[in-house]
Chains A and B, each alone.
Chain A
Amino acid sequence: MDALEISRARHELPAPAKVRFQETPGLSEEVVRRISRSKDEPDWMLALRLEALKAFTAKAMPDWPGMPDLSPLDLDAITYYVAPEARESRTWDEVPKEIKETFERLGIPEAERKALGGVGGQWDSEVVYHNLKQELEAQGVIFENLDVAVRKYPELVRKRFGTCISLNDHKFISLHYAVWSGGTFIYVPKGVKVEIPLQAYFRMNTRSMGQFEHTLIVVDDGAELHYIEGCSAPRYETSSLHAGGVEIFVGKGARCRYSSVENWSRNTFNLNTKRAIVERGGTIEWVGGNLGSGATMLYPCSILKGEGARAEHISIAFAAHGQDQDTGAKVYHLAPRTTSTIKAKSISQGGGRTNYRGHLFIRPGAKGSKASVECDALMFDAESKTDTMPSLEIKEPDVEVAHEARVGRISDENIFYLMSRGLSEEQAVEMIVNGFLEPVTKELPVEYAVELNKLITLEIEGGLG
């Protein structure tokens, strides 16, 4: 059956915003210096950018077995910095009309109206709109554009920036550190529990733009935070690149949940790096959905540094025709009695390919640690592909480690059963798929779960033709 073109019209139309300052394409020391100067950054940040540029130039492209094809990505044709016309705004009314329209189409004001916490919206590398509720400010919670935070909270930022993910880790994080722009800085002081999820929404607009936002989250001892991210980008012929970085520091006994639904357009290369370091008794929860982009390589990483630290990874990946979702999870058990659970679900359809690529490492001495990994892959048709490439390195005997994976299709019997109760075939498939994804969607806030279900329904409907 033909895979119909999925209706992404709501997200795809580029809005004609006036661009204030756009770099020439390609990367050089000049470009990096100009970026730093335009942000009026301290010297240490410029030095870090230049070191990262050196690392980027020296490193070769990754060459992993079974990785998505990155050859269409032309790093010299990408524009590495664009600042839109609008300055950062405090209230929704101040945001320029075109930008506001686009965000309204994407549903942000509705979310805002539902009294979530402060909402940061990113437009072409700068945070346009930012609103932080008074209660959070009074508690000492900082929720700020990272460009601004570098100047406003230098000690806090400098202490942590670049220490969770090293700029030498791989080529695309080196690139990221050289040209990073925009993103969120969140600091939650000791013992403060942020009840309302904080969220931000990203957007790429200009043809051949790269998106390099950096998120830095510090949840101090005993504190709690839930942060939500969602992304969208309009469709262009030339490739777009997203090489963002997310660094999370979870203090002793603290808890951080990071939810993100990534829905970039089909011509995007999503090469994001996310990592958390968890201290004694702390917990990190990663909840993720990867729906869009032509090629994704994303492996949220939890480093369980303190005794009793915990990590939970829950993710969905969806690949339709022309998509290659290479995602997974990495966990490093570096202390005793650390625990991790990974639940990864994937759906591939119409020739799409999903891959679970994971790494579980247990260090000698990490006694009493427990780790479990569960990957389930659902394939809709014979053209789809799915691979599973876990790796487990266990260097401590006093542990419990279990890994399992299953691959299959929707059983005809289940469809028949539901249809015999009056549902159409589409409804039956939708129901089964929602059931398959339920362990993930139930962890997302309601409006995200609803949007995710709707998006997946759209994708499936396209496939059933």
Chain B
Amino acid sequence: MAGTIASLKGRHAGIDADALPSPAHVTTPTGAWTFLEERGRKEERGRKGSESASGRTGGTHTISYDAPEGIAITAFKDLSVEDAELVRERLMTLVPPTDTAAAQHLRELDDGLLIKVARPVFRPLFLRHTVAGDSAHHTLVFLASGSQAKIVETFAGEGRVSHVTEAFLGENSHLVHAAVQEVAGGLLSRKAASIGRDASADWFELEANDGFTFSRITSFLDGPDAAASVSSAYLGGGASRIDVGARAEHRAPHGTSGLLTRGALAGDAKAIYEGALAIGADAAKSEAFQQEHCLLLSDRAEVRASPTLYIDNNDVRCSHAATAGKPDPERLFYLMARGIPEAEAHRMLVKAFVWPAVEAVPAYARGIIAPLAERAIARFTEATR
């Protein structure tokens, strides 16, 4: 046991979370695109603290997992001297505490998991997060050269959760990270990966939280021939507020990235999508594309989308596309004319719209994700009929 959580945060000491700006967001003539202030994230939090793996306001965050051979998992509290040094060096380097939400996460952080993958591991690692109350949790993932891992994280429970995943992918390593998030209350989720030469990161995320969702997935293509993909889906009903964004930063040549986001909004739900593809001056021969599609199911649902491109090298191929609209009434009619009840037909159309995000998950991980996604969609269409 090498020191406390506090010592792990050491290099970021002295940051005043409340003095920092809100995470970067788009501002247009009609206003700022952020729900964070609306949510009152700046409210005072109790500083009681406790011995257990609880958030400062007394919430609990338990993670159950079953580590396959080849993957070493250690809780931050149980780190060896060497691992503690590693964590201290890398913590919050891919998600720097330069905005208030990230800095608050660091301040409230009570525990985390260090995951090290030494070789190709084909059995998926399931991490089941169960939350009650407020908590902040961290996952650091290191993939050694040539290794592979599939990590599936599910979030369930009721509370307000802040979760950060930072992954460091060595040369020719491959990570598939799939997350299904169904928290009632709110979830602030940030994930980032530094991808080395020939390595790849495939992210899948399904947001089906009740209430508030803030999610950012950033892939840094740091080595040549790196690859990243994000396939995400969000489902917002009731009074959901969803703020999702995916970003790919190409810093080396021959990188490929694809960002795909599909969402369905009903009731009074409002969603913001901020995607960004950035191609640096050294990233010749990169290929990057981004898509965002939103299905609007009610008169009061709203979506705001800003897919952006920052291109500093001309020898690339980049594109993006965004669409928004309502379900096609002809398709609904077609299904009903075949005897399918309206509610079921509606569910099928929503599923059909969102499903391409699931299908983009690599085959060897899709089998795990599909039933979870199926269930979340059914729950959404049932609740928003």
Binding site for B on A (CB under 8 A): 64-66, 330, 359, 361, 364, 377, 379-382, 384-409
Cα of A54 to Cα of B325 in the assembled complex, Å: 43
- Are A382 and B308 in contact, CB atoms less than 8 angstroms apart? no
- Are B29 and A390 in contact, CB atoms less than 8 angstroms apart? no
Cα of A244 to Cα of B305 in the assembled complex, Å: 30
Determine the main DSSP class of B at the interface with A.
strand
* A-contacting 9-mer, from B1-9, B107-115, B160-168, B295-303: B295-303
Sorting the interface of chain B by its residue count into under 10, 10 to 19, 20 to 34 or 35 or more gives 35 or more
* A-contacting 9-mer, from B174-182, B204-212, B242-250, B314-322: B314-322
Our pick among A379, A397, A402, A404 for the contact of B301 (Cβ within 8 Å) is: A397
Residues of chain B within 8 A of A379, CB atoms compared:
311, 313-314
With A364-B300, A392-B305, A393-B30 in contact, do A385 and B321 touch (Cβ < 8 Å)? no
- Are A364 and B305 in contact, CB atoms less than 8 angstroms apart? no
- Are A402 and B321 in contact, CB atoms less than 8 angstroms apart? yes
Residues of chain B within 8 A of A400, CB atoms compared:
323, 325
One digit per residue, 1 when the CB lies within 8 angstroms of any chain A CB and 0 when it does not, for chain B 283-315 equals 010000000001011111111111111111111
- Are B314 and A384 in contact, CB atoms less than 8 angstroms apart? yes
- Are A399 and B28 in contact, CB atoms less than 8 angstroms apart? no
* CB of B333, distance to nearest CB on chain A (Å): 16
Chosen A-B contacts, 18 in total, with CB atoms closer than 8 Å, are A364-B299, A364-B302, A377-B309, A377-B311, A382-B281, A382-B315, A390-B322, A391-B306, A392-B303, A394-B303, A397-B326, A401-B323, A402-B323, A403-B320, A403-B321, A404-B321, A407-B311, A408-B318
- Are B314 and A392 in contact, CB atoms less than 8 angstroms apart? no
Binding site for A on B (CB under 8 A): 24, 26-30, 33, 281, 284, 294, 296-326
Our pick among B303, B310, B319 for the contact of A387 (Cβ within 8 Å) is: B310
Residues of chain A within 8 A of B304, CB atoms compared:
391-394
Residues of chain B within 8 A of A377, CB atoms compared:
309, 311
With A392-B322, A408-B318 in contact, do A359 and B313 touch (Cβ < 8 Å)? no
- Are B314 and A409 in contact, CB atoms less than 8 angstroms apart? yes
Residues of chain B within 8 A of A405, CB atoms compared:
307, 309, 319-321
| Residue of B26, B294, B314 most packed against chain A (CB within 10 A) | B314
- Are A389 and B300 in contact, CB atoms less than 8 angstroms apart? no
Residues of chain A within 8 A of B314, CB atoms compared:
379-382, 384, 408-409
Residues of chain A within 8 A of B29, CB atoms compared:
330, 359
| Residue of A330, A394, A395, A406 most packed against chain B (CB within 10 A) | A394
- Are A388 and B309 in contact, CB atoms less than 8 angstroms apart? yes
* CB of B354, distance to nearest CB on chain A (Å): 16
| Residue of A359, A395, A396, A407 most packed against chain B (CB within 10 A) | A407
Cα of A64 to Cα of B324 in the assembled complex, Å: 26
